Structure 1
């Protein structure tokens, strides 16, 4: 006789959904670790790939060498948009796992590439993977913490990601100097992809319910500024508000684009500039790591400061600090001055990066926030492509230093746009 209880074991009670960093600490810390692995996948290229372009594949034109950043930026920017939309439609976790699956072939392609076309293909996959994984970890952390400590949460997220970029750039520089440009540096990427996929598939939990909870309890701003941005917006309306119409969202989008424009320049041309000055691969690796290292560590503080001081002026000042750092890169001709400039560039980026994400989270309604984050990141990571193209064309025509001066001027102008057009988005500080 069949036991009626067989196969009908009661399901475990669902975990109660609550907002807050402390209440969701375990999952938050796990997502920080996953984002560090995402950053490591990017960091494996920072030191080695520009040298691979010139020394292994003999690409002499700067524009040709920068094609891998161009395709990476286009792929990542486009994928960011879909990551936000798909996260709302299918859930955050499936998008995260898909991003890691796409990352798995990247280091293998870099190791085995017989020609530059393979490097381009690897960077298309890397851009898609980064768009899915990094966007989703951002969205999931915003979901978990709620509105009170959003800046601090984004600071931790970006610190983990770019701290890992820096550590991996440094490690790959020394591995390349000791064992050659391939395969040793890219074996780190193999390990990162395997670990990231395993954690995301088996340990990370879905967070879309947290966004639904926040949407149900959403409180309008006291100044009525966002009353017209009700929760029922189409994808086209969210794109228009984030990109052009809403002053804070659109100011953040252009600042994000310019920020990554200068990061694309740093990624593609700084190692070439430093090598031309006679620096060793190891010292180039130190400089390539210093910029994201300062950027990563400082975000532990700047994200939290934006919760206390506000978003607007931290963003504007950060763009201006970056412009000063770029100017010093253009003026410098030795390791010491370039190290100071790289630290300034990292500090300015740290002031901007988590604060822009927090500002998007402040303004966008929880019901369409994931889509707004994806659109902001579309513009921001489109800066990689714009920066690679602009820097390559100017460097080919006028030299690397002229390209750096051009980007420094654009960065200063971006800070001015934020100062003039953006309002303070942190509700607790809006009346100050």
Structure 2
């Protein structure tokens, strides 16, 4: 559902609706990010209250009108409303799949599970961005590329309704048998926390949770930049829609496939330095995109950007799962994803304002610097969250 927009929508706004200002053109990402961020927060609470599966199905129902609105949109306002629905849908569906996988696996395989979840999603984003680029080049910007979205809604809703099983009881069992860390690191994080306390701990107070939240926000901030401005940058250099589609697909493809390995590696090597290094690699890649003006260098930079994002994305989710108590883990995931996907909105607004005022290259370099600073915050503030149980702790867990 996201992939159908990444190549086509920036070009659609410029060519069919005459959206020339960067800030106005990125409005659809701003709307999407705000809607998804807010819905992420409620998705965690609702999945605890009503169960995971009902929230997942509801998310797919909200997605039903999105591709139809993009096909028939008579004005740019219709595109904004479609992205409002898409943001709500993504907040409900993707948040729930994350929570369900954390429900189903223990701490030793949490990074692997998050890598599988995110790899499935972003590989699909890449494949669809590539496919819609070729469809748009062959058949025009509308309606052909968005026919894929209609198929995705049907598949997602059908599978969620008929195949997915409820996982909430797994989390309750995990909470009942939860063993505290022997080093006392999480002794202040009690089993019963209010929604407000979960928000404060995840956002500001707990060092690892708050460091992860800011890194997630900055990661999606630069993804909002990539989504909204890169196709315009590439088109301005004279690249064809097909080549723009290749570049739009390359970054999420490396990101998606890389997570099959990086999530599992974080189970072996730890979370902290995987996250910090990934943010710094993203910063280098963004700076290179801002400096380059040819397809081959942009392709290399997109590959590096995807690799850096792959190092960060599943590892941040695994770190949240490491620290949050099972009784309020779904709510903590919701708060983290509120901040992370709020980065789409912040990135769209910041990138648009900077590009309008100072030029598109300056906007890219500024966000590269912000990404490097975020990695430094992780290096200074976050402790290693992936705690390997001692033999004594493992014995207690086995006895339980």
User: TM-score, with normalisation over the residues of structure 1?
Assistant: 0.90
Number of residue-to-residue matches in the alignment: 390
Tell me if structure 2 keeps the 8 A contact 1:76–1:129.
yes
| Aligned equivalents of 2:182, 2:115: Cα separation in 1 | 26
3-state DSSP of counterpart to 1:287: helix
Give per-residue Cα distances to partners, 1:257-300, cap 9 Å, x unaligned: 00000000000000000000000000000000000000001000
Q: 1:403 aligns with which of 363, 372, 380?
A: 363
Q: 1:423 aligns with which of 370, 383, 400?
A: 383
Q: 2:201 aligns with which of 241, 246, 250?
A: 241
| Aligned equivalents of 1:90, 1:332: Cα separation in 2 | 50
Instruction: Give matches, 1:231-270, under 5 Å.
Output: 231-270=191-230
| Aligned equivalents of 1:157, 1:195: Cα separation in 2 | 17
3-state DSSP of counterpart to 1:427: coil
**Within the alignment, does 1:365 sit opposite 2:337 as a pair?**
no
Q: Which runs of 4+ in 1 moved over 2 A?
A: none
| Aligned equivalents of 2:13, 2:294: Cα separation in 1 | 23
3-state DSSP of counterpart to 1:232: coil
Q: 2:295 aligns with which of 327, 330, 335?
A: 335
Aligned-pair distance for 1:429? 8.3
| Aligned equivalents of 2:389, 2:169: Cα separation in 1 | 28
| Aligned equivalents of 2:250, 2:66: Cα separation in 1 | 25
User: TM-score, with normalisation over the residues of structure 2?
Assistant: 0.97
Match for residue 21 of structure 2?
61
3-state DSSP of counterpart to 2:190: coil
Q: Which runs of 5+ in 2 are unaligned?
A: 391-400
| Aligned equivalents of 2:21, 2:142: Cα separation in 1 | 22
| Aligned equivalents of 2:317, 2:142: Cα separation in 1 | 36
3-state DSSP of counterpart to 2:388: helix
3-state DSSP of counterpart to 1:151: helix
Match for residue 92 of structure 2?
132
| Aligned equivalents of 1:45, 1:312: Cα separation in 2 | 33
Aligned-pair distance for 1:230? 1.0
Give per-residue Cα distances to partners, 1:194-226, cap 9 Å, x unaligned: 110011111100000000011111010111011
Q: Which runs of 5+ in 1 are unaligned?
A: 1-40
Aligned-pair distance for 1:372? 0.2
Tell me if structure 2 keeps the 8 A contact 1:310–1:429.
no
| Aligned equivalents of 2:388, 2:130: Cα separation in 1 | 40
| Aligned equivalents of 2:287, 2:182: Cα separation in 1 | 42
Match for residue 103 of structure 1?
63
Match for residue 397 of structure 2?
none
Q: 1:121 aligns with which of 74, 81, 85?
A: 81
Match for residue 158 of structure 2?
198
Match for residue 281 of structure 2?
321
3-state DSSP of counterpart to 2:108: coil
| Aligned equivalents of 1:102, 1:61: Cα separation in 2 | 30
Match for residue 242 of structure 2?
282
3-state DSSP of counterpart to 2:326: coil
Q: Quote the RMSD (CA, aligned, Å).
A: 0.8
Whose radius of gyration is greater, 1 or 2? 1
Aligned-pair distance for 1:146? 2.0
Match for residue 143 of structure 1?
103
Match for residue 41 of structure 2?
81
Tell me if structure 2 keeps the 8 A contact 1:309–1:429.
no
Match for residue 25 of structure 1?
none
| Aligned equivalents of 2:103, 2:4: Cα separation in 1 | 29
| Aligned equivalents of 2:162, 2:251: Cα separation in 1 | 34
Q: 1:221 aligns with which of 181, 188, 206?
A: 181
